[in-house]
Chains A and B, each alone.
Chain A
Amino acid sequence: MSKYAVTMLGIATSLTMAVPAFAQTAYPTRPITWVVPFAAGGVTDTVARKMAGPMSKVLGQTVVVENKPGAGGVVGTEAVASAKNDGYTVLYTSSGPMSILPALQAGKLSYDPVKSFTHVQGLSVANQMIVATPSAPFSTLPELIAYAKENPNQINYGSPGVGTAQHLAGELLQSAAGIKMTHIPYKAGSNQMVDLMSGVIQVSFEYSSVVAPYVSGGKMKVLGTTGSKRASAYPNAVTVVEAGHPGAENAGWSGIAVPAGTPSEVVEKIAAAAQAALKDPAVAEYFESNAILPLPEVGPAQINEFVASESAKFKAVVERAGLAVK
């Protein structure tokens, strides 16, 4: 499948190189702006900056990362939705502004995750690690569930905000395992980590890139993951599927999109550059050590279906948990 796509891409590229007379074939003739709708220094920003170098090499023009943070990614996403569809403004998409917030803030966003964009390429997917404060009376996922059944509403679990993928991971586990916990939302992730280390809250569903330093320093313990396969960085962490709750499987994803109506030649070129960047050793190593899976196989032909199925999944969770904002 992916081999076929690559071959097709190769043919497409050689064709476009063979006929330089067409105006579009010159793309890119100037630097490309890659809008990351989150603040500099975060995981998304780091991934984008690590990929920008190898992508620039393939495209022959500099890819400039521009941070446009605000409203959980909505501000930057809105900006790209109304940008010119010439391929010089590219968006870093992710589960939040593309799948979850459209369900949570139904009818309140100025963009449509499907109609306003041409999705280009899947980048990554990552499960959450289920982590607990070191003094918690449970050390594995099954123990957590057993404890929560005996002590309903006693466990406090934190998240970086209502309607984040991390929050939904907690909601999913509760409904799949039939347990009740109390959700404690935070605005800044670092405060949540302090409270988890000191035991103010007992559990969090967070990405490995966030919790890894605390886990290796012995300040938190890993109970399990929300994946279906064990993460190579955490071979001992039980998955929710192994624990018998496949309904609790959850992952955040990221990708690249351009404003709707961008020429397909341009889309193919960006996708090819992104696929090459995902294979770059530095990028691959960063993904591996942070338990992030690359998605080179989700190219322009597959990404629309991927985004639609992810969005449907999150929409169902938001509805089941009654989270939608009126």
Chain B
Amino acid sequence: MDLLSNLSVGFTTVFTPDNLAYAFLGCLLGTLIGVLPGLGPLATIAMLLPMTYNLAPDSALIMLAGIYYGAQYGGSTTAIIVNLPGESSSIMTAVDGHQMARRGRAGVALATAAIGSFFAGCVATLAIAALAKPLAEVALQFGPKEYFSLMVLGLLLAIVISADSLLESLGMVLVGVLWSLIGTDVNSGTQRFTFGVTQLFDGLDFVPLTMGIFGFAEIVRNLQQHGAGQGLTVEKLTSLFPTRADFRRMAAPIARGTFIGTILGVLPGGGAALASFTSYSVEKKLSSNPTSFGQGAIEGVAGPESANNAGAQTSFIPLLTLGLPANAVMALMVGAMTIHNIQPGPQVMTANPSLFWGVIASMWVGNMMLVILNLPLVGLWVKLLNIPYRFLYPAIMMFCCIGVYSLKNSTFEIYEAAIMCIVGYAFLMLRLSPAPLLLGLVLGPQLEETFRRTMLLSRGDATVFFSSPLSAVLLAIAFCAVIAIAVPSIRGRRDKALQE
């Protein structure tokens, strides 16, 4: 009954006219800015943070949380409509979502994303309210060796998700990991492959790289293949809303995605991204028609979208219960709390119960508002696809450049995006899927850091990876995954050989 009384404290805080208005304003602003290509949640919150300084602490956090969900959702919209994932957790949405859009099913994809996100949001809110404390303890169980094993598993999943051959996706993952070596060596402070460029000391920035490889390269190909005259849709627009068959296909992926996202979101460092990748590979493995993935499979949108939304929400758990920001967006939230003289940490729950439960209740309210806000907007976003490309692509490029610049208030990132456009175009021509490369790049730094930290802590003894039960289990799953990948692909090759 504790849960109910706590939630009622929360809903009392949220259901004041002021706070409801701020939650709505946050969702609206977040969606409007997040939907601009290139502006993910991080840039959006950084931009809108000062607006909340003069509000009461609970209103400020409720509004910021609204901006966060709004921007996250807006990012999925651009991923689907123009193939521009604003952050790592919506890469998988872009893969099948954009294909759906090109086949005239943009409305269905957007509605699926909204429904999946809403369901995931509701479940994650309950999970946070009921399980925040024990889940936070799970995060504490993850030391360096457990993280390393999790990263190994994550990278193997990247190979599963790819439509290419095993060898090609392994190669792409390795290229991603190698690129992640650029920057300062964590143990010695030595610069690696930076050629004296200060902006590379922290490694390649992820967002401009994604903009270049996904967005800009796609623009080049569109111009080359279709010219600048017509809109983006290849086939005629069908219905905006999912049919009953669509609903049947999306139900199970949404449930599984929500579960995966809720668990992985708790882990500091890219939990939401890992969750969406995991969900995609799970759906692909379970599907009776795996070849449809990458061609506009609705399961490939429903699963990852639910997973990343659940993950985005449960990533509040380490922040609210331990004071640990799980990602850069959460670090901004810490800043916002400090500005309002609230020390984030274990004591927030007892010292500011109305704030703590208010923020949690506002998550549910925010998700509700997003659905109300976005389902009517679906029609509007879909119309964007009919705009002649000669108007659409300069606008996309301009917003991308603004977004990429606003990350660090620096022009270097724009050059990075420009160079990555050439790389991305080369990948397109070679028919290589960039998703495994991006996962390699996202997980690579943590893979290296946790491996070397484990070695430092164990004084060079590698057996510790197997003596920790959690790490051993993760590595065992990874080993099974290798076999699961290898067997069908060997068999597949043999089948092909027999056919010929």
Partners in one complex: yes
The contact sample of 26 A-B pairs, CB cut-off 8 A, is A41-B332, A42-B331, A49-B339, A67-B409, A68-B409, A68-B410, A69-B408, A70-B201, A70-B410, A71-B201, A104-B189, A108-B191, A109-B198, A156-B456, A184-B457, A185-B186, A187-B186, A187-B445, A193-B322, A193-B324, A194-B322, A197-B140, A198-B140, A214-B322, A216-B345, A323-B189
Judged by a CB distance under 8 angstroms, whether B133 is at the interface is: no
Contact of A188 with B by CB under 8 A: yes
Residues of B within 8 A of A67 (CB): 46, 408-409
In the complex, B139 has a CB within 8 A of chain A:
yes
Are A217 and B186 touching (Cβ within 8 A)?
A: no
Task: Tell me the A219-240 residues at the B interface (CB within 8 Å).
Answer: 219
Q: Is the CB of A184 within 8 A of B456?
A: yes
Residue of A nearest to B325 (CB): A190
Q: Which residues of A contact B (CB under 8 A)?
A: 39-42, 45-46, 49-50, 66-72, 74-75, 78-79, 104, 108-110, 156, 161-163, 182, 184-188, 190-191, 193-195, 197-198, 200-201, 212-214, 216-219, 286, 323, 325-326
B335 in complex: contacting residue of A40, A70, A110, A217, CB < 8 Å: A40
Tell me which residues across on chain A come within 8 A of B336, comparing CB atoms.
41
Q: Given contacts A67-B409, A108-B196, A187-B449, are A214 and B189 in contact (CB under 8 A)? A: no
Comparing B5-13, B141-149, B287-295, B434-442, the segment that makes contact with chain A is: B141-149
Of A162, A182, A190, A195, most B-chain CB atoms within 10 Å:
A190
Contact A75 B199 (CB under 8 A): yes
Q: Least Cβ distance of A292 to chain B in Å? A: 13
Pair A41/B334 contact, Cβ less than 8 Å: yes
Supplied contacts A156-B457, A213-B345, A216-B343, 16 more A-B pairs, CB within 8 Å: A46-B335, A49-B339, A67-B46, A69-B408, A70-B408, A71-B202, A75-B198, A75-B201, A162-B186, A186-B186, A190-B318, A190-B326, A194-B139, A200-B144, A201-B457, A218-B346
Which chain A residue shows the least CB distance to B323? A213
Are B338 and A46 in touch, CB under 8 angstroms?
yes
Chain B positions near chain A (C-beta within 8 angstroms): 46, 49-50, 53, 139-144, 184, 186-191, 196, 198-199, 201-202, 268-269, 318, 322-326, 328, 331-336, 338-339, 341, 343-347, 408-410, 445, 449, 453, 456-457, 459
B339 touching A217 by the CB < 8 A rule? Answer: no
Interface centre among A193, A194, A195 (most CB of B within 10 A): A194
What residues of chain B lie closer than 8 Å to A109, measured between beta carbons? Answer: 198
Residues of the B chain whose Cβ atoms lie less than 8 Å from the Cβ of A40:
46, 49, 331-332, 335
Give the Cβ gap from B195 to chain A, nearest Cβ, in Å: 12
Do A219 and B268 touch (CB < 8 A)? Answer: no
Across-interface contacts of B268 in A (CB, < 8 A): 188, 190-191, 194
CA distance A99 to B362 in the complex (A): 45
A319 to chain B minimum Cβ distance, whole angstroms, is 15
**Docked complex Cα distance between A14 and B449 (Å):** 57
From A162, A185, A198, A213, B343 is in contact (CB under 8 Å) with A213
Return B449 CB to nearest CB of chain A, in Å: 6
Nearest residue, chain A, Cβ from B196:
A108
Instruction: Please indicate the chain A residues that have their CB under 8 angstroms from the CB of B456 in the complex.
Output: 156, 182, 184
